Structure 1
Amino acid sequence: MSIFEQYGCRKVINASGKMTALGASAVAPVVGDALSAAAKDYVDVSELLVAAGKVIASVTGAEDGCPTTGAAAGTAIAVASVIAGTNLSLIESIPHTNGVPNEIIIQKGHAIHFGASITQMISIGGGKVVEVGQANHVEKAHIAEAVCENTAALFYVKSHHAVQKGMQSIQTMIAIAKEKGIPLIIDAAAEEDLRKYIAMGADLVVYSGGKAIEGPTSGMICGRASLIEACRAQYHGVGRPMKIGKEGIIGFLTALQRYDERPDESEQQLERMKWLIEQLKDTPGVSGTILQDEAGRAIYRAQLAIDSKVTGKTAYDVIKELEAGNPAVYTRNHYANLGLINIDPRPLLAGQEEIIVARIKQVLAKGN
């Protein structure tokens, strides 16, 4: 029995991905041990924040870093840092920022919902959101012409949730930021390359600690030293209700330091998904294919097309029944309206693909 089952929660098989709603990642034993050890001791948290920044810098190639409770908190703190800096009066005024540059320019196709609204996170940090262009088409001029004396930063979202075509590139955003003398913040929450965007010239980059890094609920901001100092200063203001504890920081740092040493499991994950599709190939009304992640990462998911005319059930019906069981099976359902269900292999524990196959067959057998 899992620790969650002891409190009356059902067992969960996560075939959806590194999703906050499902607890993001199951951490490695060494990370769990670090969490436990930190929870049983004391530390000067201000010293720990600075020490954590050095570790973040060493891994990412940035000048400094700041740990956070997650990428959403990182977004709010990063925005607050470019508006308030280390000025205590301004820090204490966030999110009320009239009278100082507070506009954050974002491409309209990047004004996403990731479980919450990215524009709301920017607003929490005191930013006045300025969306430019159209949802499927943004010109460089849309961004450059929006910059004015009230502009605090440009904001770029690198995510599968964002519109993937018709948007201006990171390189274009960096060029505009340099030309205009304003910072560029990149939300790279689930991205796997922890060095790329700093090396490209971004001023602040926000990551989740519980997704690709496979740490506990946590995150980080990395970037220019002066801006990171301002990020830490926000813990005296808007960052206070979203502060990360000692155990979260140590768990995150442990996961971060082992990040480059983790084995590449993408080939094994691909083979597991090929096996899953093979097991379902003779199931009436189900056809499977392998689909690479929308953002180009080395993630290969099984995509199952449900033909409701044959199965008597829509993809939504199948999803509902999978989630209602015990164990509850959660799949990736961004395209369920098209009759598609995706299986993400990354969070699956050993042998769980076998349970998923059996459950899908069971659900569909009840419809015939």
Structure 2
Amino acid sequence: MSIFESFGLRKVINASGKMTALGASAVSNEVAEALKQASQDYVDIEEMMEYSGKAIAEYTGAEDGCPTCGAAAGIAISTAAIITGKNLTLIERMPDSEGLRNEIIIQKGHQVHFGANIGQMVRIGGGKVIEVGSANKVEADHIEQAITDKTAALLYVKSHHAVQKGMQTIETMMNIAQKHNIPFIIDAAAEEDFKMYIKIGADIVIYSGGKALEGPTSGFICGKKELMEACRKQYKGIGRPMKVGKEGVAGLLTALKQYASLEDNAEDQIERMTQLNQSLEEVEGLTCSIKQDEAGRAIYRAQIEVNADKTGMSAQELLNRLETGNPAIFLRHHYVNIGILSVDPRPLLKGQEAIIANTIKSILREG
């Protein structure tokens, strides 16, 4: 019995992905041990924060870093750092940034909801969101023409949530930022490469610690030294209510240390999802395939198209039955409105794909 079942909560099978709503990742034994040891000891927090910045820099190739309680906090803290620098008086003013250089330019297709609103995270940090272009089309001129003497930074959101079609590339946006000597921020929360964006010249890059890294609920910011020092100083301001504890930092650093040794399991993902698809082939009205992640990551999910006329049940109805069962099975449902459900193999424990297939068949048989 899991710790959550002992509380009287339902068992959860997570086939949705490394989603915050389901607890993000299940950590390794090494990370779990680090969390345990840190929770039973003491440390000078300021010293720990400075050390963690150096460690994050080592693993990302950045000049410095800053641990956070999550990527969303990283957006707010980075925004505040850009606006205030290391000025304590300004830090204590945030999010009141009236009269300061506070405008953050973002492409309209990147102003997304990830469980909360990207724009709100910027506003918490004192930023004024400036959306440019249209939801499905942004020209380089839209970005450049939005720059004023109030522009504090350009923000790029690298995410499957963001519109992929019609947006300007990271390179284009970064070139514009560099041309105007404006900091360039990349929200790369779920990305797998922790060095790429720093290497190409981004000033600030934000990651989740509980997604690709498979660490605890945490996050980190990396980038230029002056900006990272300003980020850490935000814990005397808007960062205070979103502070990361000693346990989170210990788990984060342990996860970063072991990340390089994690194996690419794309072949295993494809094999497991192929088996699931084959098990569902016998069900009339289900069309199954394997699809790579929309953002181009090495993630291969089973895609299940539900023909309601043949199954007698819509994809939304099937999803509701799965989620309200015990165990509760959560599938990826970004396209449920057009009859598509997906199974993400990464968070699945061994053999759970068979449970999912059998449960789907059982639900559809019962009607």
Alignment-derived partner of residue 141 in structure 1: 141
1:5-44 per-position Cα deviation (integer Å, ceiling 9, x unaligned): 1111100000000000000000000000000000000000
- TM superposition shift of 1:69: 0.3
Equivalent in the alignment of 1:122: 122
Q: Displacement, 1:206?
A: 0.3
Counterpart residue number, 1:287: 287
CA distance in 1, matches of 2:89, 2:8: 46
**What's 2:363 paired with?**
363
Task: Report deviation, 1:61.
Answer: 0.4
CA distance in 2, matches of 1:57, 1:358: 46
Partner of 1:191: 191
Match of residue 67 from structure 2: 67
C-alpha deviations, 1:82-114, integer Å up to 9, x for none? 001110111001000011100000000000000
TM-score, L = length of structure 1: 0.99
- DSSP 3-state at the match of 1:93: coil
- The residue number in structure 1 matching 2:338 is 338
**Matches for 1:184-223 after TM superposition, within 5 Å:** 184-223=184-223
CA distance in 2, matches of 1:255, 1:115: 24
The aligned residue for residue 310 of structure 2 is 310
What are the superposed Cα offsets for residues 229-252 of structure 1, whole Å, 9 maximum, x if unpaired?
Answer: 000000000000000000000001
1:97 and 2:97 are equivalent in the alignment: yes
Report the Cα distance in structure 1 between the residues aligned to 2:291 and 2:334, rounded to whole angstroms: 13
SS in structure 1 at match of 2:3: coil
The alignment's TM-score, normalised by the length of structure 2, stands at 0.99
Provide the C-alpha distance between the structure 2 equivalents of 1:341 and 1:168, rounded to a whole number of angstroms. Answer: 29
- Equivalent-residue separation in structure 1 for 2:4 and 2:259 (angstroms): 27
Unaligned runs of 5+ in 1: none
Once the two structures are TM-superposed, the CA of residue 285 in structure 1 deviates from its matched residue by: 1.1
Aligned amino acid, residue 83 of structure 1: I
Give 1:269 deviation, angstroms: 1.0
Q: Distance in 2 between matches of 1:307 and 1:136?
A: 29
Letter aligned with residue 83 of structure 2: I
Two-structure CA RMSD over aligned residues (Å): 0.5
Query: CA shift at 1:173, angstroms?
Result: 1.1
User: Residue type of the partner of 2:147?
Assistant: V
Deviation at 1:330, TM superposition (A): 0.2
Q: Secondary structure at the match of 2:304?
A: strand
- The match for 2:13 is 13
Give, in whole Å, the separation in 2 of the partners of 1:154 and 1:339: 36
Q: Does 1:276 align with 2:281?
A: no
Mapping of residues 143-162 of structure 1, within 5 Å: 143-162=143-162
Residue 207 of structure 1 aligns to a residue in which SS?
Answer: strand
Which residue pairs with 1:243 in the alignment?
A: 243
Identity within the alignment, %: 61
